[in-house]
Amino acid sequence: MPSLITFFRRDARHFQIIFLAGFLAYGIVALQWDAEWLRYAILFGSCLSVQAIFIRWRRLPWHSIKSAMVTGLGMSLLLKANAPWVLVLAAVVAIASKFLIRIDDKHVFNPGNLGIAAAVLLTGEAWVSPGQWGSGAALVFLVGAAGCMVVLRVGRIDTSLAFLGAFAALDFARQVLYLGWEPEVWLHRMTNGSLLLFSFFMITDPMTTPKARGARIGWSIAIAVLAFVLGWRWWVNATPIWALLIVSAITPVLDRIWKGEAFLWIKPEPLKTIPN
């Protein structure tokens, strides 16, 4: 049993898979979503299939299939489409981008983020549905607590806090201080489930965030500012998705300027010393 616990804790993707699957179950059971099993199966199965193709092609370790599981579950929580082929397109773009769009041996875009954006922009048959989550206290606790556990495990709590803090401050200044709306309206927006999922599970992807902490914080604030401007000035839907896509393009530049340690999903085992 101790060895099993150690194995589980060594890889943060285990936490992500369990929590994201839990959120999906929460949506179906507690929020009474329509159980779109075909949509889930297409997204999840397509992500795993494309990942398996690249694993065989590049002769990679099979534990990397867990990254495709995370991507498939994340897209199942956010992406909706009118046709199955759109879901397949989203999954193919998401997973293939990890292997085909790389700089300095690191993929540039968050896979799920790019897959969702491609499906929406290229087909006109897909969309993100932020309202499906509501903003109940139970959901806030569930996503916030689980999200904190995951980002603390991957060392990206700074990214979540910088983004949420900046976005919340800008939205408060506009809605409460400038427009004079009640603070409850602002709080309702800040406790939206899609925003919290984005903050704790998408923007914090350790493989696509800047390596240096200072760069990550500035990068996160830039995403928050752009998301706020897109929503306020142009009334764009799901603005964090588009802001992340745009700002991710400068991540390789930030990594060149501010050096940091490369992230590894599975930490190497510490060497055991043999007593004399």
Residue 263: what pLDDT?
Answer: 87
Please state which of the ranges 129-133, 205-209, 227-231 shows the lowest mean pLDDT.
129-133
Q: What average pLDDT does range 188-198 have in this prediction?
A: 88
Residue 59: what pLDDT?
Answer: 94
Domain ranges of the chain: 36-128, 135-257
In percent, the amount of the chain with pLDDT more than 70 equals: 95
Distance CA 91, CA 83 (A): 13
Report the interhelical angle of 213-234 vs 157-172 (nearest 10°).
Answer: 30
pLDDT digits (tens, 9 = 90+) for 245-259: 999 999 999 999 999
pLDDT band, residue 271 (cuts 50/70/90)? very low
Residue 276: what pLDDT?
Answer: 44
Residue 1: what pLDDT?
Answer: 54
pLDDT digits (tens, 9 = 90+) for 47-76: 999 999 999 999 999 999 999 999 999 999
- Sign of the four-CA dihedral 24, 29, 31, 33: positive
Distance CA 132, CA 79 (A): 11
Mean confidence (pLDDT) of the chain: 90
In percent, the amount of the chain with pLDDT more than 90 equals: 67
Residue 167: what pLDDT?
Answer: 97
| More confident of the two residues 100 and 9 | 100
Instruction: Tell whether the model's pLDDT for residue 275 goes beyond 80.
Output: no
Distance CA 119, CA 51 (A): 18
Residues 6+ apart with CB under 8 A from 22: 142, 146
Alpha helices (H) in the chain, listed in sequence order? 2-10, 12-29, 37-58, 65-78, 84-100, 111-123, 137-154, 157-172, 183-190, 193-197, 213-234, 239-247, 251-257
Instruction: Tell whether the model's pLDDT for residue 142 goes beyond 80.
Output: no
Residue 273: what pLDDT?
Answer: 47
Residue 4: what pLDDT?
Answer: 72
Q: How many Cβ atoms are within 10 Å of 118's Cβ, its own excluded?
A: 20
Distance CA 241, CA 77 (A): 13
Report the interhelical angle of 84-100 vs 37-58 (nearest 10°).
Answer: 30
SS (H, E, C) 116-166: HHHHHHHHCCEEECHHHHCCCHHHHHHHHHHHHHHHHHHCCHHHHHHHHHH
Q: Are strands 106-107 and 79-81 parallel, antiparallel or unpaired?
A: unpaired
